[in-house]
Amino acid sequence: MLGLRRSTRRFAILTAGTALVAAAASPALGSPAAAAPETAAGTPLRVLFDNSKAETAGNADWIIGTGQPDPLTQDPTPSVETDWTGALSAWGVALQKTGRYALRTVPSGGTITYGTTSATDLQNFDTFVLPEPNVRLGASEKTAVMKFVQNGGGLFLISDHSGADRNNDGWDAVEVINDLMADNGVDDTDPFGFTVDTGTVQTDDPRAVADTTDPVLNGSFGKVTGSIIRSGTTVTLKPADNPAAKGLVYRTGSSGTTGAFFATSTFGSGRVAVWGDSSPVDDGTGQSGNTLYDGWNDPAGTNAALALNATDWLSKATTGGGGGGGTCAAGQLLANPGFESGATSWTASAGVITNDAGRPARTGSYKAWLSGYGSAHTDTLSQTVTIPAGCTTAALSFWTRIDTAETTTSTAYDTLKVQVLNSGGTVLSTLATYSNLHASGGYVQRSFDLAGYAGQTVTLKFTGTEGSTLQTSFVIDDTSLTVG
């Protein structure tokens, strides 16, 4: 629906405010079996490995075991990697031995789903591992993966060098992963803030960045000092698209936005990790007929620690400050959630919170109206809130009405970003990016899981950015952050 060009704003809004506190460090180091971080009592962390995208084609054997979907059917009490058969069995057995994980595999011929009754539906898991996929994901599968991450899941992407099309279907892992991020039906505007590089790095021993607080580099499975590349690739970071994108391990001579071999990011309420080569997780053992290489134990890298720490981080094993204590009074935390008290409790650009009749509120008279000028402009809206440490649920909800004069069906000229920031203004997560391509005839409810921020004080921020011509209006109303 097209709207009128925006009128001059009517009143000034509160000046800047800042968030207060945030952050969580990982627990102390220890052995994988004895000192891994605790989860909620009796609740295992659930990890799903994929084998539906030709992960065993050619010499590849990227499975944790031949028992599928349940690896325990091959051996219910594995103690060494050869108790399960697959080049990723060392990874799977190490997780199984902690006593904190429940593992499954999407078998060959299976489909990646979200929101169905399938036993391997992503909705039943905390982390999904896509290890060097060699088949392009279907449209519904890409949407399933993105919604899984957006709603709080962890996604572990493992690529390989260009041309590693082991099943000769015209798709290699580089292309499959980039296609997932570029054409998924949820957010096609570089949602994770990185792309996998086309090309091949034959051999290198990339090193980890100097960061003593990052939970992936300093997790319970050991300190990460570096990794290995044995015919792999790297990724290019694009922090302008997603500020959460972060390189942890870099190819020799590289830094900043180029040459990242292992990187992390966030999307919605979930987390993402990407590794540029499958060699580091290959344990050298698997099904007969495959040529495998023991990168898992290669002394040139700390690959086991990197894979296992990243799995913990993606599964949110260390979320919540490690306290486990605290209390939670169930209720709604946002002040002035429907904007009916004007600018009270919100920090916003001038004129954003308004009762201007040019766009209707969903309920009441006031709403937040970002952009809509038809010229280059940026509006922001934010509120700082503390989520009690004892809360196990924290559901953010708001309604959006998006109308535009843009006529394109493919280019996002105007955007609305929804983000979570810490006290220093660092973006912890970009929950979603909407654009002129998401125009709707009325209000649409949006919901996100913020339980991972329990025990933290964070700022919820909306940023509307408009191009030089043709208006797009992003109207927000009836917000809530309900905890319990």
pLDDT for res 457? 86
pLDDT for res 331? 87
Lowest mean pLDDT among 46-50, 197-201, 330-334, 461-465: 330-334
| pLDDT cut 90: percent of the chain above it | 77
Decide if pLDDT at 52 tops 90: yes
pTM for the predicted model, two decimal places = 0.66
Q: If you average pLDDT over residues 387-407, what whole number do you get? A: 91
Among candidate residues 165, 379, 190, 360, the one with its CA nearest the CA of residue 272 = 190
| pLDDT cut 70: percent of the chain above it | 89
pLDDT tens digits for 294-333? 999 999 999 999 999 999 999 987 543 222 345 677 889 9
Q: Which two tokens stand for residue 186?
A: 């949820």
Greatest mean pLDDT range, 294-303, 424-433, 447-456? 294-303
Decide if pLDDT at 453 tops 90: no
pLDDT for res 383? 94
pLDDT tens digits for 208-245? 999 998 999 999 899 999 999 999 999 999 999 998 99
Alpha carbon of residue 238 to chain centroid:
15
pLDDT tens digits for 104-141? 999 999 999 999 999 999 999 999 999 999 999 999 99
pLDDT for res 318? 53
Lowest mean pLDDT among 18-32, 211-225, 272-286: 18-32
pLDDT tens digits for 293-303? 999 999 999 99
pLDDT for res 173? 98
Q: If you average pLDDT over residues 345-349, what whole number do you get? A: 95
Contact 338, 366 (CB under 8 A): yes
Distance between CA 392 and CA 381 in Å, rounded?
26
Place 389 in a pLDDT band, splitting at 50, 70 and 90: confident
Decide if pLDDT at 8 tops 70: no
Q: If you average pLDDT over residues 18-45, what whole number do you get? A: 37
pLDDT for res 2? 40
Decide if pLDDT at 48 tops 70: yes
Q: Which two tokens stand for residue 396?
A: 């953010």
Decide if pLDDT at 32 tops 50: no
Distance between CA 101 and CA 90 in Å, rounded?
14
pLDDT for res 422? 86
- Residue bearing tokens 């057995």: 93
pLDDT for res 464? 97
pLDDT for res 390? 76
Collect all residues with Cβ–Cβ distance below 8 Å to 8 and sequence separation of at least 6. 351
pLDDT tens digits for 54-85? 999 999 999 999 999 999 999 999 999 999 99
